[in-house]
Chain A
Amino acid sequence: NAGVTQTPKFRILKIGQSMTLQCTQDMNHNYMYWYRQDPGMGLKLIYYSVGAGITDKGEVPNGYNVSRSTTEDFPLRLELAAPSQTSVYFCASSPYNSPLHFGNGTRLTVT
């Protein structure tokens, strides 16, 4: 099993550009999550999904969108990138109320 796979690992965006962070898992987990980690801060939940076709906002959803058309994939879309979105993004998955499995992260810089 590959676990949770995130792409790309690094990306530099100009202000106003858009991009999609890809996340896929091969463990058949219903729950998937997107987090951002800013320097010196705890992980913050952006969006989560409890199953295909179901998504909901987390603590910091503004400026992001998600979709969950399949159990495996949970892409995160950034529209009109802003410097405040410079961060490290982590995707994770889990069965219900079980330990999380994290991807390796995407380091995004918006300049």
Chain B
Amino acid sequence: KNEVEQSPQNLTAQEGEFITINCSYSVGISALHWLQQHPGGGIVSLFMLSSGKKKHGRLIATINIQEKHSSLHITASHPRDSAVYICAPPEGSGGSNYKLTFGKGTLLTVNP
């Protein structure tokens, strides 16, 4: 089973700050998911990445497969970015969606 550690568990930032959320996992994988859970509970997939870096708007996700580590960055943070961010690698190197291990999430609060 893949052990997933996210840090920090809670993060409070001022609007405009650069945010970094980290995810470490124990078993080598081929791809990893980042999800966003809104305060109302809905979950949205942000990224699925297997190497290097992906960018979508102000969000950037990076992954280092060899070091078993991924980061999610938010540039110019805004109060609407306030949410729980969840890292989800698969159980093993097979990379299957149906064997994802979900982190407990990082609660981000961005104050105006």
Contacts and interface: CB of A to CB of B under 8 A. Distances in A.
14 contacts: A31-B97, A31-B98, A33-B97, A42-B102, A43-B100, A56-B98, A88-B41, A94-B97, A97-B95, A98-B97, A100-B97, A101-B45, A105-B43, A107-B41
Contacts of B97: 31, 33, 94, 96-98, 100
A102 B44 contact: yes
Interface in B87-109: 88, 95-105
Contact of A42 (B31, B86, B95): B86
B104 A104 contact: no
B48 interface: yes
Contacts of B88: 43
A42 B31 CA distance: 18
What is the predominant secondary structure among interface residues of chain B facing chain A? mixed
Interface residue tally on B, bucketed by range: 20 to 34
Interface in B5-42: 31, 33, 35, 41-42
B4 interface: yes
Interface of B: 4, 31, 33, 35, 41-45, 47-48, 86, 88, 95-105
Given A99-B45, A104-B42, A105-B42, A48 B4 contact: no
Contacts of B43: 90, 92, 102, 105
A15 B31 CA distance: 40
A45 B98 contact: yes
A53 to B, nearest CB: 16
B45 A42 contact: no
